[in-house]
Amino acid sequence: MSILNTLSLTSYGPVIPVIVIQRLEDAVPLAQALVAGGVRVLEVTLRTACALQAMEAIARAVPEAIVGAGTLRTVEDVRAARNAGCQFGVSPGFTAEIAAACIEQGLPLLPGVSTASEVMQANAAGYSFLKLFPAVAVGGIHLLKALSGPFPDVAFCPTGGITLETAPQFLSLPNVKVCGGSWLTPQDAVDAGDWDRITRLAAEAAAIRR
């Protein structure tokens, strides 16, 4: 995987789950359930105290999974994610500092954008595959269609507010290669240890036509 290009992640399926892990003991069985449903690329967000430990546990125990760290906001986040065994990183926005740290650490980055100016900044830094976040809130499908005109060479992973029902609409756009979604790991299912439900949701997501 190229340092500046995470586009190869899209070859593993149409949806990247956005995962918030509250309890460390849920990390491995949750990842196993997703992989069993055909979802291998996993974005674990840095939003909880056990997130880094969860990433490390998944990377060690579920080799079929391609583990990425979400919510990279600082250089320290990047280093910690790499040390935890992550294979890619995702940031909610774009900064030159985050980009430089990812290059230094050899961590492929999917940077977040929400405006045309941010697309230009990320594109100028060498990134042509970007996360549109928060996708629905900033214009969703209408914005993606509008961005396709001035940026025909840029592909997107819209994330934020997308559901199983709306994902096919996003994925039908020529500049959308994959989308991010939190619906694959509902908190009530995780709390209950209902891994069969997680596997079913993953299988539904993996079967979405692009």
Question: What is the chain's pLDDT, residue by residue, as a tens digit (210 residues)?
Answer: 443 468 899 999 999 999 999 999 999 999 999 999 999 999 999 999 999 999 999 999 999 999 999 999 999 999 999 999 999 999 999 999 999 999 999 999 999 999 999 999 999 999 999 999 999 999 999 999 999 999 999 999 999 999 999 999 999 999 999 999 999 999 999 999 999 999 999 999 999 987
Per-residue tokens: 132: 């549109």
The model's pTM is 0.95
Per-residue tokens: 95: 């900064």
Query: To which H or E segment does residue 18 belong?
Result: strand 15-19
189: Cβ–Cβ under 8 A, 6 or more apart, which residues? 197, 198, 201
List phi, psi (to 5°) of 45: -80, 150
List phi, psi (to 5°) of 115: -140, 165
Per-residue tokens: 180: 């991010």
Nearest CA-CA partner of 90 in 115, 66, 57: 66
List phi, psi (to 5°) of 40: -105, -30
* Catalytic positions: 43, 131
Distance (Å, rounded) from C-alpha 193 to C-alpha 188? 9
> What Å distances lie between residue 41 and 20, 66, 141, 158, CA to CA?
14, 5, 23, 15
